[in-house]
Amino acid sequence: MPSTRFEFCLPDRIIFGPGSLGQVGSEVERLGARRVLIATSPGMRERDVLSRTVDTLQQQGIASVVFSEIEPEPPLQNAEDCAALAGNSNCDLVLGLGGGSVMDVAKKAAADLGLPRIMVPSTAGSGSEVTHESVLKVDGRKQAFVDAGLTPDVAIVDPDVSSTMPPRLTVLSAADALAHAIECYESRNANPLVQALALRASELIGENLSAAVDSLPEARASLALGSLMAGMAFGNSGTALGHAMSYTLSNRGVAHGQAVATVLPYVLRFNGSAASFAGTLRRIAGLTDPAWHPDWDIAEMTAEVMADTRHLANNPRTVTSRDVKAMFERMAADFAARPRQ
C-alpha pair distances (Å), 285 with each of 181, 259, 265: 16, 11, 8
Taking alpha carbons only, the member of 22, 67, 65, 63 closest to residue 40 is 67
Q: What is the rounded distance in angstroms from the CA atom of residue 68 to the CA atom of residue 82?
A: 9
**How does residue 39 score in pLDDT terms, banded at 50, 70 and 90?**
very high
- Residue scoring higher pLDDT (283 or 118): 118
Report, as an integer, the average pLDDT of 109-136: 97
pLDDT tens track for 287-326: 777 899 999 999 999 999 999 999 999 999 999 999 999 9
pLDDT tens track for 144-172: 999 999 999 999 999 999 887 888 889 89
- Residue scoring higher pLDDT (106 or 164): 106
* Residue 109 near residue 173, CB atoms below 8 Å: no
What local confidence, expressed as pLDDT, does residue 290 receive? 84
**How does residue 98 score in pLDDT terms, banded at 50, 70 and 90?**
very high
Report, as an integer, the average pLDDT of 99-115: 98
Fold of 167-337: Dehydroquinate synthase-like, alpha domain (1.20.1090)
Quote the crossing angle between the two packed helices 241-250 and 167-186, to the nearest 10°: 140
Decide if pLDDT at 275 tops 70. no
Decide if pLDDT at 337 tops 90. no
* Residue 205 near residue 212, CB atoms below 8 Å: no
Residue type, 74: P
Decide if pLDDT at 279 tops 80. no
Quote the crossing angle between the two packed helices 256-271 and 278-285, to the nearest 10°: 140
Count the neighbouring beta carbons within 10 Å of the beta carbon of residue 126.
28
The residue ranges of every structural domain in the chain are 13-162, 167-337
167-337 and 13-162 share a CATH fold: no
Fold of 13-162: Rossmann fold (3.40.50)
What local confidence, expressed as pLDDT, does residue 341 receive? 54
Q: What is the rounded distance in angstroms from the CA atom of residue 105 to the CA atom of residue 70?
A: 8
